[in-house]
Amino acid sequence: MTLLELVDVTASYGPIQVIDGVSLSVPEGGAVGILGANGAGKTTTLRAISGTVRAGGTIRFAGRDIRGLRPDQVAALGIAHVPEGRGTLGQLSVRENLMVGAYLRKGRQAIAADVDYCLDLFPQLRDRIGSRAAALSGGEQQMLAVGRAFMARPRLLLLDEASLGLAPGTAKTVYEAIRRLRLESGIAMVVVEQNANLAFSLVDTATVLETGRTALTGTTAELKGMDEIRRAYLGG
Amino acid sequence: MRNPLSAKPLSVEPQSVKPVATGNRTVRIVVLVLVAVVLLLAPLNLPPFANQTLVRIGVYAVAVLGLNIVMGYTGQVNLGQIFFVGLGAYVTAYGVKQGWNILLVFVLACLIAGVVGLLVALAAARLGGLAIAMVTIALPIVGVPLAKRLEGFTGGSQGISARFTDAPDWSGLYNDQWQYYIILLVTAAGFLLARNLVRGKYGRAFGVVKENEAVAASMGVSPYRTKVLAFTVASIFGGASGFLYLAAVQYTSPETLSFGHSISLLAAMVIGGAGSIAGSLIGGAYYVLVPLLTNAVDPGLTTVSQGAILLIVLFLLPEGLVSLPRVLRRITGRNRDRPGAPQRTVPAPAPGAGSEKQADQHQTEHQAIPDQTDQQQTIQHQTGRQDQA
Amino acid sequence: MGTFIQLVVDGLSTGSIYAALALAIVLVNQATGLINFAQGGLAVLSGYVAYAFVQAGLPLVVAIILAVALSFVLGALAERFLVRRFERGDPDTAVVVTIGLLTLITGIIAVIWSYNNLGFPSLFPLTSVDILGAVVSVRSLATTVTIVVIMVVLQLLFLRTKLGLALRAVADSPASSALSGLPVGRLLMVGWGLAAALGAVAGVLVAPQLTLTPGMLDTALVYALAAVILGGLSSPIGCVVAAWAIGVLENLVAVYVPFIGHDLKIAVPFALIFVILILRPQGLFGRKVVVRV
């Protein structure tokens, strides 16, 4: 029942090797966190999965080797990537952003229903449905980015630093909504998050990356029990 | 040194670059002296046509150099460089006709072009990217009918001719040789000045503004003033090129500053190598030699072959002809040991202003926060313990 | 009064040609972020292709439709095999690539058809009608109406269709659009194809008036660029309005302001640009780009 499996994945930007042996596995409907210091290769790991950076090793999704596919091909297989920096389409309205998310889908009514669901999930967006995304606040943009990813009805959601640059309260709201999304839709997730408290509120297991390699993997409870993890990521 | 990611490029660079650099120094001096000797002796042994061609290369190299400063180095699209060349040429022709001292004429050609450039830049530099391009397009577009109109100064559509570069008797030189030396002198001075400019404080400011205006502003570099400066310098070089143009051709007309020529200058700059002093010289050579070449092959196919050559060069060398040695080295180096070692050190003016996309991505991925090393250490402990366990 | 109306209608007609080219430029710029200097050259080529079809005995309308369709294909191919390689690189290089393309196309046309002027049949009758006492050419009116129709169709395409939404998304951010499964490469080809087709329309509309020469649209391209800047790169309607304004204004100024006359009338749009950009850097209709970091 493994949905996504990474074995010894490597990736580099030009001559600079950024990840060098990342392995992780996400079960159907599961949620895995990726922790690690800045530069440990968390974002690059997500990019390797979504095909936005060229990778080596094995990346298997739903039993199929997806390494080397273009980002749009990966998306078409059911992987939605909410990139670092949100990637909302600034000149398009909130509704249009959501519709772009549903680009590969057919069925007007189902799509309309999902737009409603997004607005229900993120009520702040309802009032701003006609505004351009560039005019939204950071928190609203993040909500929109998650909403747009959901609109594709993916089997797997890649979430990169959804709390980055947000006020603590806003970040919490965003994560609560994502948690609800996970419970109600059963979408599997890979969550990169600097704030481990937020990550642990969402995921079942987590992988710690260290300088581009998988250092250890454990359940949320196991990891929370480790002194070093607590000191490094949980602020205590 | 704890972070191997940041350590990797650091440790590679000194090893690969340093020995080459010291070896280069003596080689470079020898080469420079050789080039100087060749440049000085060449006109005495070449036929007049070759000298005239070299002279024209010098003329356009200066114009391309100016364009490179504003565009290649500072990143402001300028489609009107030819206007300043034409302006310089007209000022020179007028001054010579009035019988002014030739040095004064030269200074005026540079100065008037510079002042007009400054005025245009004061307005245009307020605008972003493409708007500057459009304002500068207007210069040759409006310049041509204007030059036709102002007959008193320009001689109208007929143009205006002025001879002032006949070799004096004491020199014992032919006219083409005399012109060659004048242009060699001005061109060499221009290139030396430009080289010092782009390697110094202002050059760094140009680079930062090109990379990211917000970063520039945050470093205390005014993007507006930097752009105005670059544009003005480019105009001065344009004016100087105009002076040289008249020295070489001894005639100018509205055709000199036509938009088509401005576009060709731009193409020559990119073909030579944007953001490269040597590239400007190659650009000047390209501007002069390629039409000669295509004409010689088949006059009926001149335009087609020029377009084709332009596209082929850019396809093979998107960074211009100046990158040819680097590309060759990369190709030959690939067969040997180090595949991706950075061959060229990019003068990175500031953190966050990396000049290659790769560097940028690397930057965002690894932006250091103060307590990073602490975390890193903790994790290393962590894994150490795990391994034992 | 009669002269005035005539000048305005003729100005609208030439302005419409600028408008079609301006729209093509905006399309390409929105899709790939570049200014395509070959836009006029591609349009001229379409004119010659239509001419060749007419020579081969096809009816004019069929020849034009075929030429427009071929231009779509040609534009898409140019994007895929020429411009694609430079899209992510230095924008200066990309611009020079389009200049190279322009030179190449001009050269090819000259080799096949020579630099001599060729007469091109008009799609519209060369009669004139009487409007408020002014003699107005049917061709001018019809040209203007054609551009209005095309503009409305384009607007509908962009705002009401899925393809339009996808094109706008790619224009906004290709990388981010790909994450939603949009086939970015194919959409860019469509964008270039549409632009080339639009240019083709401009080419066949103006060819009867100017007669076909390889450099037929060089000046028009400059006017179109002026319109693009005046109207704002993000506003198709703004560009069309600006193009019309330029067409009308230069006609009026050339006749009513003797100091400027026909030789300097090209300065008018640029003087206008200069003043307007100082006051409103985003163009008359463009939106200020608000970016939150």
* Residue B362 reports pLDDT greater than 80: no
> How many whole angstroms separate alpha carbon B97 and alpha carbon B88?
14
Tell me how far apart the terminal alpha carbons of chain A are, to the nearest angstrom: 36
Residue C283, both tokens: 């163009």
B375: which chain A residues are within 8 Å (Cβ-Cβ)? 37, 232-233
- Split into its structural domains, chain A has a count of 1
**Over chain B, what is the mean pLDDT?**
79
Residue A127 lies in a domain: no
Determine, yes or no, domain membership for A135: no
Tell me the residue range of the domain where A37 lies.
2-89+154-233
> Could you read off the pLDDT of B146-175 as tens digits, one per residue?
898 888 888 888 889 888 878 788 887 888
Reported residue count of chain A is 236
Kindly list the partner chains of chain C, i.e. chains with 3 or more CB atom pairs below 8 Å. Answer: A, B
Q: If pLDDT is split at 50, 70 and 90, which confidence band does B372 have?
A: very low
Q: Do B248 and B59 meet the contact criterion of CB atoms below 8 Å apart?
A: yes
Q: What is the pLDDT of residue B128?
A: 65
What is d(CA C181, CA B151) in angstroms, rounded to the nearest whole number? 62
φ, ψ of residue B166 to 5 degrees: the values are -75, 140
pLDDT of residue B6: 36
Residue from the list A103, A134, A138 with its beta carbon closest to the beta carbon of C182: A103
**Is there a domain that residue A47 lies in?**
yes
pLDDT grade for B369, boundaries at 50, 70 and 90: very low
Q: pLDDT tens-digit profile of A183-211?
A: 999 999 999 998 888 999 999 999 999 88
Residue ranges of chain C whose pLDDT lies below 50: 289-293
Q: Which residues contact B37 (CB under 8 A, 6 or more apart)?
A: none
Average pLDDT for chain C: 87
Model confidence pLDDT, tens digit, residues B212-264: 888 888 888 888 899 999 999 999 999 999 999 999 988 999 988 888 888 88
Interface of C with A (CB under 8 A): 162, 165-166, 168-169, 171-173, 175-184, 234, 287, 289-292
What's the CATH code of the domain at A182?
Answer: 3.40.50.300
Question: First CA to last CA across chain B, in angstroms?
Answer: 27
| DSSP assignments along C237-265, one per residue | HHHHHHHHHHHHHHHHHHHH-TTTHHHHT
- List, in order, residues 6 or more apart from B311 with CB less than 8 Å away: C82, C97, C100, C101, C104
Q: How far is C171 from chain A (nearest CA, A)?
A: 9
Give the confidence band of B357 by pLDDT, cuts at 50, 70, 90. very low
Report the percent of chain B where pLDDT is more than 70: 79
pLDDT of the residue at C194: 94
Nearest to A228 by CA among C73, B382, B288, B46: B382
Q: How far apart are alpha carbons B268 and B310 in whole angstroms?
A: 9
pLDDT range class, residue B334, cuts 50, 70, 90: low
Rounded Cα distance between B185 and B126, Å, is 36
Cα–Cα distance measured from residue C88 to residue B358, given in angstroms and rounded to the nearest whole number: 12
Which of the four pLDDT bands, split at 50, 70 and 90, describes residue B363?
very low
Other beta carbons less than 10 A from residue C153's beta carbon:
10
For residue A25, list its beta bridge partners: A5
Share the mean pLDDT of chain A: 92
pLDDT of residue A18: 86
* C-beta separation of C129 from B340 below 8 A: no
**B54 vs A235, residue with greater confidence:** B54
Return averaged pLDDT per consecutive 10 residues of chain A, 236 residues in all. 92 84 93 89 94 93 93 95 92 95 94 96 94 94 96 96 92 95 95 90 92 89 84 70
Domain presence at residue A25: yes
Interface of A with C in 75-114 (CB under 8 A): 75-76, 80-81, 83, 87-92, 96, 99-101, 103-104
User: What is the rounded CA–CA span in Å between residue C155 and residue C167?
Assistant: 12
Residues 6+ apart with CB under 8 A from A154: A75, A78, A79, A80, A187
Residue A55 domain-assigned? yes
- Cβ neighbors of B31 (< 8 A, separation 6 or more) are none
Instruction: Give domain status of residue A172, yes or no.
Output: yes
- Any domain includes A45: yes
Select from C247, C265, C192, C281 the least CA-distant residue to C19: C247
- Whether the CB-CB separation of B130 and B264 falls below 8 Å is answered with no
Asked if the structure places residue A101 within a domain, the reply is: no
B:340-379 residues touching chain A, CB 8 A cutoff: 340-342, 356, 358, 361-362, 364-369, 372, 374-376, 378-379
Cβ distance C93 to B263 less than 8 Å, yes or no, reads no
Of C10, C13, C54, C6, which Cα lies nearest the Cα of C212? C54
